[in-house]
Amino acid sequence: MTSTTLPICIAGHWRAGRGERYATCYPATGEPVAWLNAANLEDLEEAIQCAHQAFLHSGWAQRKPHERAAVLYRIAEGIRAQAEELAQLQRQDNGKPILETRALVASAAATFQFFAAACETLEETITPSRGDFMTMSVYEPMGVVAAITPWNSPIASEAQKVAPALAAGNAVVLKPAEITPLLALELARICDAAGLPKGLISVVPGKGSILGDALTSHPLIKRVSFTGGTRTGKHIAHIAADKMMPVSLELGGKSPTIVLDDADLDHAVAGVLYGIFSSSGEACIAGSRLFVARALYQPFMQRLVAAASQLRVGDPADERTQMGPLISAAHRESVERYVALGLAEGGRLLLGGQRLEGAAYGQGYYYPPTILEGLGNQQRVCREEIFGPVLVAMPFDDEATLLAEANDSLYALAAGIWSRDYKRAWALGRRLQAGTVWINTYKQFSISTPFGGWRDSGLGREKGRLGILQYMEQKSLYWGMNPQPLAWAGINMEAAS
């Protein structure tokens, strides 16, 4: 790594930001990965004004859908051409294991490909006529869209916003998390190389507390697509309400995973482990509340704890690693506070609970898979998002109580069910309140399937073929077909001629 300042992409130019200089650090070592200057408020204003001009004058919005799609296909290819380099960079930027960052990069490419296809196949409709006119429902781009992303899955989160926004004909100002800006910048380079007109994408790294309100409240920003914490999301929702601006908010979660008494235990153990401990639990959809049928509870927990104790925590560059470090020292301290709180509330540790230090872990922010039991759904560790590798296990006696407890959360992002009985799983799945319910699987994603949360987990949906419409305004067109003037005016054409 060099101490050279990394340029950022503002208004079609690659140059240093005018905000404070800072380093992004590798969570496995605490060492700087790159130095850059954040964007300041002037940079942000320049990016928004230029995006507006590019929206008005670059011709992007007027290009035929298949022409815009061609650029998006090239962006997908650009990502694939650099896949390994991007995956390694993302590993350094946020410390995820290399196998995971490779998957995120592949998913970003697939997202551009998918929205290219959605763009060129989007149909506008002729609606049934109810008079002497033909009626159509069409879609228009909005203008400049703000895309705001968190640190936990950079290039995939960014692609999920930028791809549909560009496909729809908009310009984008992308604000990545301050601590993980590198993949957003690379994505902008790939967009440039693919022939996206200049100014249609700017990247403004920096603190949300400095740039956030100026970005979301700016009159030229016509839509905000946000992924991050619930508190920030609600703040943005207030700003959006004042502007009457559409927003989508992908927020936090506290998702239940449910093991029924007829579950296939091998599948359930593997799925519960993956659901909470992959990404070191730094996932909005982490299955952090585990409900197990009481009849199975002891044998299931024994198997789960034994399997969790075998998970390989360590160097994210090692292809065998399953869990890397947490994102920062401060975040690890927050996870530790929650575990201490759980213990103070009467919880018992079945596994983990002590930070990992020593030669094998260097200066990295490692924390092991941690399992607590002896707690109830009302306790804070079951109500608040920990965003780390901490699972709280609870037995349940009957499905009615289970359902009430699983649904008793401010969050409602995801849920999982493990059962061999598909009718039972169907009935339970339909009554769980969550944006996504996985049955006999967990944390699987498809760009072709909508994603989003209920309640404090968010508003609006991303992904899915119609995800592109989130970035467009609907418009109705009426074409008069009557050879006569409108009757109300009383004009007699024969008398008039």
Shortest Å distance, C-beta 277 to ligand NAD = 16
Residue type for 124, please?
E
Q: CA–CA separation, 218 vs 239, rounded Å?
A: 10
Under 8 Å between Cβ of 454 and 436: no
Shortest Å distance, C-beta 55 to ligand NAD = 21
Shortest Å distance, C-beta 206 to ligand NAD = 7
What does each C-alpha distance from 287 to 95, 148, 282, 350, 387 come to in angstroms? 21, 24, 11, 17, 10
* From candidates 95, 252, 325, 464, binder to ligand NAD by CB under 6 A: 252
What does each C-alpha distance from 163 to 114, 172, 447 come to in angstroms? 9, 10, 11
Residue 44 binding ligand NAD, by CB under 6 A = no
Strands (DSSP E) along 115-160, which ranges? 125-127, 133-141, 144-148
Sheet strands side by side (includes 436-439) = 348-351, 370-373, 390-396, 289-293, 256-259, 414-418, 436-439
Residue 253 binding ligand NAD, by CB under 6 A = yes
Q: Tell me which residue of 247, 219, 221 sits closest to 234, measured CA to CA.
A: 247
Q: Which of residues 183-222 bind ligand NAD (CB under 6 A)?
A: 208-209, 212-213, 216
Binding string, 293-312, against ligand NAD, x = CB under 6 A? --------------------
* From candidates 284, 326, 447, 472, binder to ligand NAD by CB under 6 A: 284
Instruction: Provide φ and ψ at 288, rounded to 5°.
Output: -95, -15
Q: Is 100 an active-site residue? A: no
* Total residues at interface with ligand NAD (CB under 6 A): 30
Residue 248 binding ligand NAD, by CB under 6 A = no
Residue 326 binding ligand NAD, by CB under 6 A = no
To the nearest 5 percent, what fractions of the chain are helix, strand and coil?
A: 40, 20, 35
Shortest Å distance, C-beta 284 to ligand NAD = 3
Residue 371 binding ligand NAD, by CB under 6 A = no
Q: Is 161 an active-site residue? A: yes
Shortest Å distance, C-beta 386 to ligand NAD = 10
Q: CA–CA separation, 187 vs 159, rounded Å?
A: 8
Stretch that binds ligand NAD, among 137-145, 231-239, 263-271, 471-479 (CB under 6 A): 231-239
Coil, strand or helix: which one is 286?
coil
Q: CA–CA separation, 282 vs 375, rounded Å?
A: 22
Q: CA–CA separation, 471 vs 222, rounded Å?
A: 9
Binding string, 134-173, against ligand NAD, x = CB under 6 A? --------------xxxxx---------------------
Shortest Å distance, C-beta 485 to ligand NAD = 53
From 100, 178, 373, 462, the catalytic residue? 462
From 46, 158, 250, 336, the catalytic residue? 250
Task: Characterize 402-429 residue by residue with b for buried, 16 or more Cβ atoms within 10 angstroms of its Cβ, and e for exposed.
Answer: bbebbbebebbbbbbbbbeeeeebeebb
Binding string, 446-475, against ligand NAD, x = CB under 6 A? -------x----x-----------------
* From candidates 175, 222, 254, 461, binder to ligand NAD by CB under 6 A: 175
Instruction: Quote the tokens at residue 331.
Output: 């975040």
Q: Which residues bind ligand NAD (CB under 6 A)?
A: 148-152, 175-178, 208-209, 212-213, 216, 227-229, 232, 235-236, 250-253, 284, 385, 387, 413, 453, 458
